[in-house]
Amino acid sequence: MPAKPNRDLTRYYDLLHVWSRVNRGYRAFSGLEANAIHRWLVDPETGDFSPQTIHTLMLAAGIEGLQPVRALDAGCGYGGTMLALHAALGGRWHGITITASQCVVGRKAALRKGVADSVTFANASYDDPLAERFNLVYGIESLIHSPDPAVTIDNLAGALDAGGLFLIVDDMPVDAVPEAYAGDLAQFQRMWRCPVMPSASQWSAHLATAGCETIEVRDLSPLMRPRSEPEIAQALVEVSGRRRWRDRLGLKRIGEAETGGLLLERLGREGIVPYVMIVARKRA
């Protein structure tokens, strides 16, 4: 049966979607224009700093060998990754998102590009039963929201063919978080709706239980460009000032998103929450 919808998380992303449409400054970081909501990284080969770098890294991780591709994007957002990788590899790409507004934007983008038959979207949870089979399953900065990562991985891996690849790209705390950063991490988790937030070793353990063997764990943090601690601290002060009036206008989730993002930037810069790509293969 379908998973119970997380209405708070849905409202959170719905409000961020609306805010990105009315606030030009926020839109530059929302992913709306590029149909992609994920981290900008430095391309190791070209030096370009771009949201497209993760796609280059995914191609290098072996997904090019999956022909024809039948991919599931678990938490697809606006579908930017599906559109970019379909352009590179062809195949069939299906994305699921709990946010209806993201689905609408993604479908319109696929129609504009003439690929609506091969890049599709569903307004659903990645914990819902899956009727299709895939040879590639991935989640980019999405599985972090799972209230029960073991259940989520088991569900997604159950739809993956033997020999297929499962990629997780996300913020993954170290196994032993220093006490000095525990408060920042807890506040980030609350503000970004990340109730469990597994480490890389915990994700790998869930994958193993679901029949997938981890073949690569890569820390992508060196490819990021975090601000200095003084810059982050000043930005937190500024966001706190804006929250006083935004909260009264019903925009509390906007302030939470901004504050959480800054805390994550600090945690990543200090090596407490690395940005990691895990590549696993489904066992026969």
How confident is the model over 109-117, as a mean pLDDT? Answer: 96
Query: What is the pTM for the complete model shown?
Result: 0.91
| Per-residue three-class SS string for 29-49 | HHCCCCCCCCCCEECCCCCCE
Look at 251 and 175; give whichever has higher pLDDT: 175
When pLDDT is cut at 50, 70 and 90, the band that residue 250 belongs to is confident
pLDDT digits (tens, 9 = 90+) for 33-65: 445 568 999 999 999 999 999 999 999 999 999
Instruction: State the average pLDDT over residues 219-248.
Output: 91
Domain that holds residue 160: 7-184+194-227+274-282
The pLDDT score that the predictor gives to residue 16 is 64
In a domain, 249, yes or no: no
* Residue 219, in any domain of the structure: yes
Whether pLDDT at 254 is above 90:
no
Domain containing 222 — which CATH number?
3.40.50.150
pLDDT at position 38, please? 82
**220 in any annotated domain:** yes
Task: Give the model confidence (pLDDT) of 124-143 as tens digits.
Answer: 999 999 999 999 999 999 99
Is 101 part of any domain?
yes
Q: How many domains does the chain have?
A: 1
- 215-230: pLDDT as tens digits: 999 999 999 999 999 9
pLDDT of 8 reads: 74
Residue 269 lies in a domain: no
- What does the pLDDT read at residue 123? 94
Average pLDDT of span 101-110: 93
- Count CA atoms within 13 Å of residue 128 on its CB side: 19
Extract the runs of DSSP E, i.e. beta strands, from the chain. Answer: 41-42, 49-50, 70-74, 92-97, 119-123, 134-140, 160-171, 212-219, 275-282
